[in-house]
């Protein structure tokens, strides 16, 4: 049996502890800036989440101090801001996703990084480094779970592996050495939780929010020298990979660590809808653009999905905002009607609209297509004049194979901010993140992100 210094947990902890800004390739630095900007856009949009006020009430109850900024809101305690920011990022399902592990990574990583960076007056470079360490940690621990076996047991990735990323981001900003970072990972693993029993409810989003707080607590407690298991990932009696999977694939955690950056496989989303149906939306917009499709001209729509995606999104009702965001029939109908896909498409005035509802029920057919794999989609639209238009693609816009440009992410932030933050504030956020490596103190960015008035 390997010594405690040769284990995946120890090796990952050494990597995080020794990682310097100069070790990040230029492409990784820019990718992390893209992800941070996208995360801020997602959080600003998240103020419109149906349950965001409830999470704010919980966050406010965690402490009466107001030293930490809330994105688009009024400040709360260190713990409260971390918890609420984590929820805001994921509240309207427009944040990132690492598809191989079906994990939203930013809600658990960015909030503790922002909280500690603001508290300590850290530089923009330090924030980039911390977020890079957190994202890389999350993805690699996720890959180590051997996701199919992990998922078969009902676990939901963000709540289980997310705390490790939060602990890495916090640990980097706290200056933890390798031993304390290893303890932080042990503490993170002790808080790993979240299952698919909650699918279709806002509790699946709370997994991300609570994961952010778990990572923060793990880092702060490890900073004090608090001890934890020396090997939380592969321990035979309760290690994460044995307890939550079938032993996992520990080598994936450390393979080419520092040479191959797994965080580059994180996908971003243009639209507030389930990550697994982003390909459907991409295909619909391509067909609209190519053929000027209008609902009155459409006789029927067939959407083919993989069995996995169909089981989650193929038949889901759309009787509230959250379910509408996840429902393939409704998303198909509303995109074809409105030629737009943002938060106003998921308000009750739209999903209760008789014309949209009837179109979704009567003219949209969603089915399992054996040709479609993973989160791909095959769309066929028949028009009333007998024409048939098709789109079949394996991945959506925002996937690493077709990434969002910086300009597209900037537009996403402008859209999310419209009517809430002044236009000059949105442009200032874009400029500050674009030049984050030159920012002397992250507090300058957080000050712009605070809302002009309270919004929960």
CA angle centred on 102, ends 99 and 106, rounded to 5°: 90
Alpha-carbon span 278 to 288, nearest angstrom: 15
Q: Is 248 left (phi over 0), alpha (psi -120 to 50) or beta?
A: left
Q: Which pLDDT tens digit goes with each residue over 205-245?
A: 999 999 999 999 999 999 999 999 999 999 999 999 999 99
Average pLDDT of the residues in 52-64 = 95
Q: Could you tell me the pTM of the whole model?
A: 0.96
Alpha-carbon span 151 to 245, nearest angstrom: 8
Q: What is the pLDDT of residue 200?
A: 84
What percent of the residues of the chain are helix, what percent strand, and what percent coil, each to the nearest 5?
A: 60, 5, 35
Q: Which pLDDT tens digit goes with each residue over 91-132?
A: 999 999 999 999 999 999 999 999 999 999 999 999 999 999
Q: What is the pLDDT of residue 456?
A: 40
Average pLDDT of the residues in 134-141 = 98
pLDDT-based confidence at 3, cuts 50/70/90? low
Q: What is the pLDDT of residue 1?
A: 45
pLDDT of 436 over the 50 cut: yes
Structure tokens at 393: 């693609």
Strand order in 298-305's β-sheet?
A: 364-368, 298-305, 377-383, 388-393
Helix (H) or strand (E) holding 270: none
Torsion of CA 199, 202, 207, 209, to 10 degrees: 160
Alpha-carbon span 206 to 212, nearest angstrom: 10
Overall CATH class of domain 275-393: alpha beta
Same fold, 8-270+414-449 and 275-393: no
Strand partners, 103: 98
Q: What is the average pLDDT value for the chain, to the nearest integer?
A: 96
Average pLDDT of the residues in 270-276 = 96
Average pLDDT of the residues in 132-159 = 98
Which residues lie below 8 Å from residue 147, measured CB to CB, with a gap of 6+?
Answer: 100, 101, 102, 157
Average pLDDT of the residues in 410-438 = 97
- The answer to whether 86 touches 108, Cβ cutoff 8 Å, is yes
pLDDT of 455 over the 60 cut: no
Q: Which pLDDT tens digit goes with each residue over 297-315?
A: 999 999 999 999 999 999 9
pLDDT of 6 over the 90 cut: no
SS3 181: helix
pLDDT-based confidence at 5, cuts 50/70/90? confident
Alpha-carbon span 80 to 56, nearest angstrom: 8
pLDDT-based confidence at 4, cuts 50/70/90? low
Q: Which pLDDT tens digit goes with each residue over 312-348?
A: 999 999 999 989 999 999 999 999 999 999 999 999 9
Output the furthest CA–CA distance in the chain (Å, rounded): 72
Q: What is the pLDDT of residue 83?
A: 98
Question: Dihedral sign, CA of 98, 158, 225, 170?
Answer: positive
Phi then psi dihedrals of residue 364, to 5 deg:
-105, 125
Start-to-end CA span in the chain (Å): 51
Average pLDDT of the residues in 359-385 = 97
Alpha-carbon span 278 to 182, nearest angstrom: 37
Among candidate residues 215, 41, 33, the one with its CA nearest the CA of residue 128 = 33
CA angle centred on 445, ends 19 and 406, rounded to 5°: 75
Q: Which pLDDT tens digit goes with each residue over 11-34?
A: 999 999 999 999 999 999 999 999
Phi then psi dihedrals of residue 76, to 5 deg:
-135, -170
Strand partners, 300: 382
Listed in sequence order, the DSSP H helices in 46-156 are: 52-61, 78-90, 106-120, 124-144, 147-152
Q: What is the pLDDT of residue 415?
A: 97
Q: Which pLDDT tens digit goes with each residue over 341-368?
A: 999 999 999 999 999 999 999 999 999 9
Alpha-carbon span 425 to 248, nearest angstrom: 45
pLDDT over 90, % of the chain = 96
Among candidate residues 361, 340, 355, the one with its CA nearest the CA of residue 285 = 340
Other Cβ atoms closer than 10 A to 31? 21
- The answer to whether 167 touches 222, Cβ cutoff 8 Å, is yes
Domain 8-270+414-449 has CATH 3.40.50.2300: no
For the chain, domain boundaries: 8-270+414-449, 275-393
Alpha-carbon span 76 to 63, nearest angstrom: 8
Among candidate residues 323, 327, 451, 339, the one with its CA nearest the CA of residue 44 = 451
Which residues lie below 8 Å from residue 224, measured CB to CB, with a gap of 6+?
Answer: none
- The answer to whether 331 touches 281, Cβ cutoff 8 Å, is yes
Q: Three-class SS string for 18-48? A: HCCHHHCCHHHHHHHHHHHHHHHHHHHHHHH
Q: Which pLDDT tens digit goes with each residue over 387-404?
A: 999 999 999 999 999 999
Q: What is the pLDDT of residue 152?
A: 97
Buried b (16+ CB within 10 A) or exposed e, 339-369: bebbbebbeeebbebeebbebbeebbebeeb
Phi then psi dihedrals of residue 383, to 5 deg:
-95, 165
């Amino acid at each position: 049996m390997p010594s405690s210094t040769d284990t995946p947990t120890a090796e990952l902890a050494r990597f995080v502890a020794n990682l310097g800004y100069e070790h990040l390739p230029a492409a990784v630095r820019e990718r992390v800036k893209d992800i941070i900007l996208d995360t801020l856009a997602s959080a600003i949009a998240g103020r419109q989440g149906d349950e965001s006020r409830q999470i704010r009430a919980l966050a406010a109850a965690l402490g009466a101090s107001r030293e930490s900024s809330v994105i688009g809101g009024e400040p709360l305690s260190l713990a409260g801001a971390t918890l609420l920011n984590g929820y805001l990022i994921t509240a309207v399902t427009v944040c990132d996703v690492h598809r191989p592990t079906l994990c939203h990574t930013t809600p658990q990583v960015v909030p503790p990084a922002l909280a500690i960076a603001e508290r300590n007056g850290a530089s923009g470079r330090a924030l980039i480094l911390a977020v890079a360490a957190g994202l890389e940690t999350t993805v690699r621990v996720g890959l180590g779970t051997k996701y199919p076996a992990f998922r078969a047991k009902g676990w939901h990735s963000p709540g289980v592996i997310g705390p490790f990323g939060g602990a890495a981001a916090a640990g980097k900003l706290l200056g933890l050495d390798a031993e304390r970072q290893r303890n932080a990972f042990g503490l993170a693993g002790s808080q790993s939780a979240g299952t698919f029993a909650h699918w279709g409810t806002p509790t699946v989003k709370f997994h991300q929010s609570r994961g952010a707080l778990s990572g923060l607590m793990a880092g702060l407690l490890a900073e004090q020298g608090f001890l934890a298991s020396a090997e939380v990932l592969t321990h035979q009696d309760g290690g994460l990979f044995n307890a939550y999977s079938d032993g996992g694939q520990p080598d994936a955690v450390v393979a080419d660590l520092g040479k191959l950056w797994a965080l580059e496989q994180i996908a971003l989303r243009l639209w507030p809808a389930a990550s697994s149906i982003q390909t459907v939306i991409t295909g619909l917009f391509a067909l609209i653009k190519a053929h000027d499709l209008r609902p009155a001209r459409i006789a029927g729509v067939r959407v083919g999905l993989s069995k996995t995606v169909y089981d989650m999104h193929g038949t889901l009702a759309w009787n509230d905002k959250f379910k509408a965001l996840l429902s393939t029939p409704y998303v198909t109908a509303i995109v074809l009607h409105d030629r737009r896909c943002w938060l106003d498409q998921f308000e009750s005035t739209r999903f209760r609209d008789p014309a949209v509802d009837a179109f979704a029920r009567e003219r949209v057919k969603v089915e399992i297509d054996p040709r479609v794999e993973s989160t791909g989609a095959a769309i066929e639209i028949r028009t009333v004049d007998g024409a048939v238009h098709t789109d079949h693609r394996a991945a959506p816009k925002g996937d690493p194979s077709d990434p969002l440009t910086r300009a597209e992410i900037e537009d996403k932030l402008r859209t999310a901010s419209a009517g809430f933050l002044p236009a000059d504030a949105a442009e200032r956020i874009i400029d500050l993140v674009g030049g984050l490596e030159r920012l002397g103190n992250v507090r300058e960015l957080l000050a712009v992100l605070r809302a002009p008035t309270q919004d929960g």
